[in-house]
Structure formats: C-alpha cells, structure tokens
Amino acid sequence: MHRAFIALGSNVGDRVEMIEKACLELDHANIKVKRTSSLFETTPMYVLDQDTFINGVCEVETSLSPIELLDKLQSIEIELGRKKLIDKGPRSIDLDILLYDQEVFSHERLNIPHNLMLERDFVLRPLCQLIPHEQPPKAGKNTNTYTDYLRALPPPEPTPYSTTPISPHFPSIHATDPKRTTHVMAILNLTPDSFSDGGTHSSTDFTQLTETVRSFIAQGATIIDVGGESTRPGSTPVGADEEIARVVPAIEHIRQNIPEASNIAISIDTYRAVVAEAACNAGADIINDISAGVMDPEMLPTAARLEKSIILMHMRGTPQTMTELTDYPTGVILEVSAELRQRVAAAENAGIRRWRIILDPGLGFAKNQPHDLEILRDLPALRNAEGLECLPWLMGPSRKRFVGSITGVKTPKERVWGTAATVSASVSGGADIVRVHDVKEMSHVTKVADAIYRV
C-alpha cells in the first residue's frame, strides 16, 4: 500500500457537496481516505475572473501506481461532471496528486511532487495541517518543511478562511475569519430533570414548543440544541427509546410547522448513535455529543455515514463519574488539547471529514472551577494547539456551577449576569458558538462582544 496526498478543489455549484462526493468516490474505488484537511475559501490564482474556490487536501492509502491513480482521479472528475474549458479556470471538481510516498515521478502526463505545489498557498495551507513537519521528497541538504515553504510565501489577500458546512439552508462557519459573528445556540431541554430548566419545555405540548422556538429565534438564536436526556453530574440515563420519544416529535414539529425556523440549524444533544440518526432523519443538522464518540462506539461511524457535522466535547468518564476525574497534572490546556486530538483522530478514522468537526472543551465536565476559568482565559491556546487549528469551537458556560460558586448565586436560573461575563470572555477567546439558556440577554452580549473583538 502507498500513501498519497490529493488536492481537492471546486468553484462551481455546491462546492462542499462536490468535494464530499469526490471523497466518497475515492473510498468506493478502494482509494481509502485516511485523513482530510479543513476546507478553505480561497480567491482564484492565474485566471482571476472566476468564483472563489474551496480547497483542501486528503491523505489516501492506495495500491494503485501513480499513473493508475491519475487515471482513476480523472475518471472520478468526469463522473462528477467536470468539463475543462479553460486551463486553471472554473471547475466543479479538481483532483490533483501532490505526493506519492516519498517518490519523485516524472511522466508526460504527471509529475510528482506536483510542479506548482510549493508556490500555492491554497495547496500548502491544507497540506500543512496533515504533514506540517515533513519535507519534500529528495530534499537533500535543504531542511525546509512544508510549513517553512508556506511561511515563505507572500501573505495572500484576502487570507483564506476555513469553512465548516452545516446544511444547505444555514451558512457555513468560518472559524478563521476574524470578522465572523458568533452563533447563539439556544438550549431546548425536553427533560424533567436538567440542572437548570428541567420540566420547563415539553415535547408533547406543541403550542408551547412553537412559542418557545419562535421566541428563541426572535431573540437572536441561530442554532437550537435539542436534548432528551439530562447529563448533569450524577444524572440517571433514560434509555434510547425514551430519548427518541422526547426529541424526534419536537424536531419534526420545528421543521414542518414553524416557518421562522427554516433558516436556523438544529443540533441534537445526544451521545447515542441511534438517537442521533433518528433526530437527523427528522431534520437535525448537527450532532452534539458530550462524549465525542466515546460512550457509543457507533456514534462516529454513524455521523460519517450521515455526513453531518459533529460537535466533539471533551469529557472524561460519564456524567455519573466525571466529577472524580479532574486531575490534570500537566495542565488542563495541554491535557484537554491532547485528548481532543485523540478524538479528532478517532473521528477521522471513522470517516468523518475534518471540515465536519466542531470542538467543545467541556466546561464543567470533568473539570473544577480553576480548570473552567483557565479554559475561558486561555481559549486561544486551545484553538491554536497543533492538530486543532482552524476548527470551530463551541463554549457552553451557561448557568454553570462555577458561575454560581463565584457569584454566590445558588439558583441556576439567576446566574444571568455571571454567565454574561463568561460569554463575553468566550467571544474574546475566539468561540464560534455559545450555548446558552438566556437567549435574549446572551444575544445582546455576543453582539457587543463581536463589535469589540471581531474586527
């Protein structure tokens, strides 16, 4: 078997969908996609009068020779409708071999390494996510890594930004765009025992559900996170059937009967694959898994098959055991980033593309008050940790225990002001999504924080 790296590009039609189709075709052709980079919005080079591209790179494993691999890539391009009218011009899909093992290969149809790769930011930027410290084949005494070559290029204008697709009716998240706005995720717990709002919302009272969802949207929510089981410390699991019975009717009702919700995203807050699949079939766009695929080994393969974006949250143990797993001898930032890297790798091994991954450091989950505060203080260190770059981040500080401990407010519903400080800190640190109970108040906080920090 051989390791190869293939550049992915598209600037015609639904660009992300086309790239995802190409990756599926690679897998079907026994060209196993092992890892992918993020996807980046990039301005065109050479032929400038064309739409922006989405570019990425994937690492594949193949038994094909370089020419056989080229033939297969070109046949996939044709199958997906590519028509090459202008050299370096618009294309629905572009698949180029960049590297093949550590070989130097020259043929009238193909040169490896790719002739122009070291001068192209849109190639090196995603490639450096996969092999930042490797060198081109036959480098000799030249010790430059791919990262060195990327840093030596003149900064592109505008700077390419990463793209995380959510759904056709919802804008992609651009985690590296400094001018992006923060998404407000409204918490809709359809549970009788959640720590803060248990029993407030019902999955059977559709009149109340409609009013609640409309209120969330009017107050500024762009994502609604639907949950059917409490995961507060020490909570009791309810089982998949009960969880499905709580969340699926609600999601179906939101999608079918609330027109105002047509342009908002729905996430399903569950660690069970069967619940995630039922919710996605009912209309959910995002899977929000507090265990990052640990508590149900079928979760990551299911998310890959459904081609849904997934939020991987850091947690240790289970909601029943996590409060005893708060030892971080080398520091919470280092250990959370290392453990999230492991979950990202597990997601990729299951077939989830990197551009479908969102991370959550898990405030309050297997963490005590100093840990939560350090994460809020040093979120940029997590965002820029090697292997986690360019991914979107969700922060969920709303009404958490550490907020009550600091303020002396025992009742979770009354922790609005303390939560506001944590939400502002989250935006300052670079969060892309804040998950909150008090939608109106936190929407105001994020708007002002965006105006301060997102410039």
Report the alpha-carbon distance of residue 240 to residue 229 in Å, rounded: 9
Q: One of 354, 356, 401, 435 is an active-site residue; which one?
A: 435
Pairing of strands 53-62, 2-10: antiparallel
CA 26 to chain CA mean position, Å = 22
Q: Does 400 participate in catalysis according to the annotation?
A: yes
Q: Does 34 participate in catalysis according to the annotation?
A: no
Pairing of strands 94-100, 2-10: antiparallel
Identify which of 276, 284, 370, 269 has the alpha carbon closest to the alpha carbon of residue 319. 269
Tokens of 262: 């047509």
Identify which of 107, 250, 274 has the alpha carbon closest to the alpha carbon of residue 190. 250
Q: Compute the CA torsion angle 277, 278, 283, 289 (nearest 10 deg).
A: -50
Q: One of 272, 400, 401, 415 is an active-site residue; which one?
A: 400
CA 414 to chain CA mean position, Å = 31
- Report the 10 Å Cβ neighbour count for 254: 25
Q: 245's torsion region: left (phi>0), alpha (psi -120 to 50) or beta?
A: alpha
Residues 6+ apart with CB under 8 A from 314: 292, 336, 339, 340, 343, 359, 360, 361, 362, 365, 366
Identify which of 43, 54, 320, 5 has the alpha carbon closest to the alpha carbon of residue 163. 54
**Residue 418: φ, ψ to 5°:** -65, -40
Show which residues are catalytic: 400, 435
